[in-house]
Each structure stands twice: as structure tokens, then as C-alpha cells.
Amino acid sequence: MNAASPAAASHAPAGAQHDAVPAHARQLAAQLSGLFQKDVQIVKRLNDAHDRLQNANEQLSPGLTPGPIAALLPDGEPATTRDALQQIHWQIHHAFCDYQHAAEQRRQLAVDVGELSQQLTESLSAAGWNADRVRHANVHTLAGTTT
């Protein structure tokens, strides 16, 4: 099943109509389309958490000096190495937790996508679609949504 390629609709045999999609298959395709959009948001969160992990880790580079340490602390507070390292520790901890949470959500989403894909495949096959046509179906087109 194709999630994003508008060209996938061109794989339909001549004379095949969009109307030949059973209502149940359209509902499944709409659910899949929504899950693909949810995946885009999860990937953005994964990338954000990765960037925060990388930035915090770079602050721990060899040769950490009072300049970078002072930049981490609010104005007017004395810059101590321990305070700065503790702050970096919590930045890494929070970013790592966010990353783990988003990765678990994405794993669960993959299971849902697999189950719905199987149901959609069965529905389209029962409606007379051949395996190649099912494989190249665009769920956004089947659902009547645009991306």
C-alpha cells in the first residue's frame, strides 16, 4: 500500500473506477491516512528530542569552560560547574524520555498501520482488486483525502 505517491493511482487498470472501492475499504484507508499524518508528527518529535540530546551532549564536550557554563545559568546566579552539569544532566534526561516516549508511540502506530493495512488488503481483494493494484493503492486517494 502506498501512503504518499499520487502516481500510485495510475496503476489502476484501464476502466477501473474510484467508485469500485467498497465503503469499508474507504473507511480503512481514511484511518490509515490519519495514522500516516500522526506518524509525521511523531517523527517531528523524535527529531526534536534528538536535536535536544545532541545539543546537551555537545555542552559536555572536553574543555568545558566557565563561559558555556555561565550561559546555561540564569542571569545573576553564580556559575558553578556542578550546577551547570546538573542542568545538562536534566536536559539530557528529559530529551531522552521524550525520545523514548515518541519511539514507543511510533512502534504502537506501526502495529496499528500493519493491522489496518491487512484489513484494507483483504477488503480490496474481496472487491476484486488484484494484488498489484492493491499493493500500489494510495490510501489518501482511496480515502478521498489530499496530502
pTM of the model: 0.69
pLDDT tens digits, 87-142: 888 889 999 999 999 999 999 999 999 999 999 999 999 999 999 999 999 999 99
The three grid cell numbers given for residue 91, joined into one nine-digit string: 536536559
3-state class of 17 per DSSP?
coil
Confidence of residue 25 (pLDDT cuts 50, 70, 90): very high
- Size (the chain), residues: 147
Cell of 66: 566557565
3-state secondary structure (DSSP) of residue 7: helix
